[in-house]
Amino acid sequence: MSGRTVFFERLELNHLMRFYGRMVAAGEWRDYALDALPDRALFSVYRRTSEAPLYQIEKCPENARKQGAYSVRAIDGRVLRRGHDLDRVLAVLEPKRMQIVDQ
């Protein structure tokens, strides 16, 4: 491992912030945190500032060749989705649209 720190690139941050903005507008999320670590970068989202993160979007370059550099983890540590394309990985967090059906 090199002595470098992993960061999200500008395009990745644009995707993350655009998605975050939609979720804030929907009332789902209220805060976020960015972490740059030696082996990965994290974008954590919160419903309330004082709570643990609801989800962590992770970029881990070491996994890029295998299952993909991006993953989404739930609060309990489960990996919800992995992949090579950030937008497709983020899709797992899209709110499900409920439809009212008249009977």
Boundaries of every domain in the chain: 10-93
Task: Classify residue 102 by its DSSP letter.
Answer: -
Which pLDDT score is estimated for 95? 79
Please tell me the pTM assigned to this model.
0.85
Residue 50 banded pLDDT, cuts 50, 70, 90? confident
- As a whole number, the mean pLDDT across the chain is 89
CB under 8 Å to 34, separation ≥6 — which residues?
A: 8, 41, 42, 43, 44
